[in-house]
Amino acid sequence: MRRLLRDLDGILLGTTILLIAVGLVVLASATASLGGPGPYLKTRLFHLAVAAVAMVAVMAVDYRRLAASGRVLYLGNLALLGAVLVVGVTRLGAQRWIPLGPFGGFQPSELAKIALILTLARHLADRTPPASVPAFVPYLAHAGIPILLIVAQPDLGTAMVIGAILLGMLFLAGARLGALGGLGGLALMGAPFLWSVLHDYQQRRLLVFLDPGIDPLGAGYAVTQAKIAVGSGQLWGKGLFAGTQNLLRFIPEQHTDFIFTVIGEELGFVGAVCVLALFLIWIWRALRIGATASDRLGRLIAGGIAAMVVFHVFVSVGMTVGLMPITGIPLPFLSYGGSSLLAMSMATGLLLNIGMRRRRILF
């Protein structure tokens, strides 16, 4: 174990701790007007304890052994996603959580991302890179089944994340750009069908993204208030616990999906850039670990995790400034939510795992 720990990526671990610390501070401010931050911080610390145990557990088991149990992981993932549709509880119009009594709820779609990265990496690692659109069929089916179960909840945001993971890993596996372009063309051709199966509120969110003025007090309210909050922070921000949009609760879900608005308003442009810089460092270390991995499996797992976090950050930040439609995607390590934190901690553990085992250990 000592030999493994000498290759522990201290920069990745330190950046993760910094992001979590920033999240605790911002969460305290975001919940000050929601009855006080005490209960939220107490629950968050419990989430952190569980997440830390999960991260260490993932680090301790060789990632090749974890990927070798791909069939169990994949079927278990599908079973949990199916269970949500049967016994899940509904919140904010979506049935995404399995109740855990006094421990709140568990969102299987968050862990589905980690399960998909592990199982898809194993699927891709031992095969020739797909060179044509028909060659993508097994991989589309691999990701498509969990996507359909997640869309049924409905959770379009997480389904999009899984789609981004799939495309990123196919690219890293060596799929031809022409074939990926053809796959994108087929997706565009299917857009009218996808539009018809979206729920009314999902259609309104997309329409409001194109023109927020068509429903300023309804579907367009959140994005309008978010842009006001971020813009009002200007260069240095209004200061922690001093954001008027935050404290007066103009922004819905300001401690979860829209937590970046609190950062923009209270810490300003400088604070927002610092937070984004931490994410850039985190993603850089993920890519670095992938580049130095000892095998193709490790490179694909690290690349899939990097693709996931890039998409999360881009969409979560983008929707607060009007660059992306509202999809309900949390900001990694910062947004309040135990399932998201657990999944990101496991992802970090996997990266550390790959980095620690990049050299052969000789006895």
DSSP string, 220-274: THHHHHHHHHHHHTTTT-S-TT--HHHHTT-STTTTTTTHHHHHHHHHHHHHHHH
Q: Distance between terminal CA atoms of the chain?
A: 13
Alpha-carbon distance 59 to 5, whole Å? 10
DSSP code of residue 46:
H
Alpha-carbon distance 272 to 263, whole Å? 6
Percent of the chain having pLDDT more than 90? 48
Confirm if 288 and 253 have CB atoms less than 8 A apart: no
pTM: 0.92
- Predicted pLDDT at 102: 67
The maximal CA–CA distance of the chain, rounded, in angstroms, is: 68
Q: Which of 213, 105, 108, 204 is nearest to 158 (CA)?
A: 108
Alpha-carbon distance 148 to 136, whole Å? 17
Q: Which of 104, 101, 141, 146 is nearest to 123 (CA)?
A: 141
pLDDT in tens, 217-239: 666 777 888 888 888 888 998 98
Residue ranges of the chain with pLDDT lower than 50? 361-363
pLDDT in tens, 159-211: 889 999 999 999 998 887 777 777 777 777 766 667 666 767 677 777 777 67
DSSP code of residue 211:
-
Confirm if 259 and 230 have CB atoms less than 8 A apart: no
- Predicted pLDDT at 363: 36
Provide the β-strand partners of residue 105.
Answer: 99
DSSP string, 165-228: HHHHHHHHTT--HHHHHHHHHHHHHTHHHHHHHS-HHHHHHHHHHH-GGGSTTTTTHHHHHHHH
> CA geometry: angle at 328 spanning 259 and 280, to 5°?
55
User: Is 80 in a helix, a strand, or coil?
Assistant: helix
- Predicted pLDDT at 79: 93
Strands 94-99 and 89-91: antiparallel
